[in-house]
Structure 1
């Protein structure tokens, strides 16, 4: 790792002002660059994603991904040396895993520091008071949106998924109105589809709750309530660990607020499970 730090230090005088910001961040938090996307790094120091990529190219790498792989390997080797493991290969693998888990733990720590409980309770109130709830997601966010929608429907009995640009979407939209709620997961990369869905929902009179990653998210223009939570991206794979943590907190608050209704709906579901002998 020291040789990489020296390389950055030697090239530092040749960096532009924006690239020097990236270099300074690397000196302070190399693990952040190792497990964050170029976009996230740029946002951290207020430079563009392209500036971060050009910075790695200035160091002699083809692009950010190649540089990131080198940093991850260097960090793994450094951990390995400090631990003085006798079996090299398993230790290296464990070290890499520990780094990945540390990155997820870091996002939860950020959530713990940044979350506003008053705003979270406002979201819980919106969910509790809604006539109907529509949950939607931004491209890669459909998985977590579908999971949350299923839980809400089981607990509160009036939630469904909203899939933009489908025939069913237009039917759902035509029936949407005042008193209804749209919960949208809007994480990069943002799409025109999700923005159109939120714009249409607002036009129909529905309230909108947005879960997103940044105060610069375009979805915030249509949000009545919003919760910000960072998504960790490593090796071009997004980790929604912190989002799951936030949703679990919301679910627990909903249970406390509407305990009688939730327990009643769960009991009905359990009766069906038993009738069908569903579980072993």
Structure 2
């Protein structure tokens, strides 16, 4: 019997494993039922790898040790918590338009259900602290990541902070050279392998600014330069890439940060929002929608 939580936890990190770690990961996915009763020595004997390899594997999965890993699997593997949804991967050419729509929606629901276990409380708090200490917030992304950066810019413009976003790469580089300790830069790259984004991150890292990196690859060189790295994992499907699948997760994570920022100093947040609504109201005709609705 498969274990959805265990499979999801392993698959989102699988490409970062060594060959021996993949051997253990494959064994765990094929034999999930008795995992909670095994010791690290048992698993080493059954897979033919060292205990050190297993320890490295569970660390890459984000756990403190093998016991922590087993507790998490046991806690999150109740049959009652297994989502009974037909996912995006199950789409076939025989599906009608409504069936395709339902499966895409279900796939996004499953991705969002898998997001909370990925979040690190300490990293979230540290990211928010860096925002609170800043005056200027900057949002950067190349290609598909630029869409996420622009959406984040639209959100945080409604806060008390001064924000900017620019799509031109040369302007991004030029702006980054002027950063100070009052700046926090959010850099988005799902692969973590963009040469342009790496160059930008290196410039930001040389300044006194805070560098927050949002990615699906916590082992990239960019992650090593960042003050905080927030990782979003997702699975690739037949009809769309992993970066597209993860888009809704990045948007949701930035929503969570935005709401936290607004709640941190609610009076200032409401004051900033009121000013924006007043400014926007002059550009809209009277109607049933609020002044702050999207265009």
Distance 1:231 1:139, change over 3 A: farther
Distance 1:271 1:99, change over 3 A: closer
Distance 1:101 1:131, change over 3 A: same
Q: Is the 8 A contact 1:162 1:172 kept in 2?
A: no
Deviations 1:25-65 (A, max 9, x none): xx9589xx9xx9xx969528766xxxxxxxxxxxxxxxxxx
Question: Aligned match of 1:270 in 258, 270, 277?
Answer: 277
Distance 1:43 1:101, change over 3 A: farther
Larger Rg: 1
Q: Check if 1:249 corresponds to 2:256.
A: yes
1:51-200 equivalences in 2 (<5 Å): 75=90, 92-163=96-167, 165-166=169-170, 168-188=171-191, 190-200=193-203
Distance 1:249 1:192, change over 3 A: same
Deviations 1:83-122 (A, max 9, x none): xxxxxx7x75444433333322222222111212222122
**TM-score, normalised via structure 1 length:** 0.64
The CA RMSD over aligned residues, in Å, is: 3.3
Provide the C-alpha distance between the structure 1 equivalents of 2:177 and 2:286, rounded to a whole number of angstroms.
Answer: 39
Distance 1:173 1:76, change over 3 A: closer
Deviations 1:112-150 (A, max 9, x none): 112122221221121121121111013211011011112
For 1:220, what is the secondary structure of its paired residue? helix
Q: Is the 8 A contact 1:138 1:190 kept in 2?
A: no
For residue 211 of structure 1, what is the aligned residue in structure 2?
214
Q: Check if 1:258 corresponds to 2:248.
A: no
Provide the C-alpha distance between the structure 1 equivalents of 2:236 and 2:89, rounded to a whole number of angstroms.
Answer: 19
Shift of 1:187: 0.6
Structure 2: 5+ residue stretches without partners: 20-86, 288-295
**TM-score, normalised via structure 2 length:** 0.61
Shift of 1:162: 4.6
Distance 1:45 1:109, change over 3 A: farther
Q: Is the 8 A contact 2:134 2:184 kept in 1?
A: yes
Provide the C-alpha distance between the structure 2 equivalents of 1:40 and 1:221, rounded to a whole number of angstroms.
Answer: 20
For residue 229 of structure 2, what is the aligned residue in structure 1?
226
Q: Is the 8 A contact 1:180 1:206 kept in 2?
A: yes
Deviations 1:211-261 (A, max 9, x none): 111322332111111111124544135131222221111111111102111
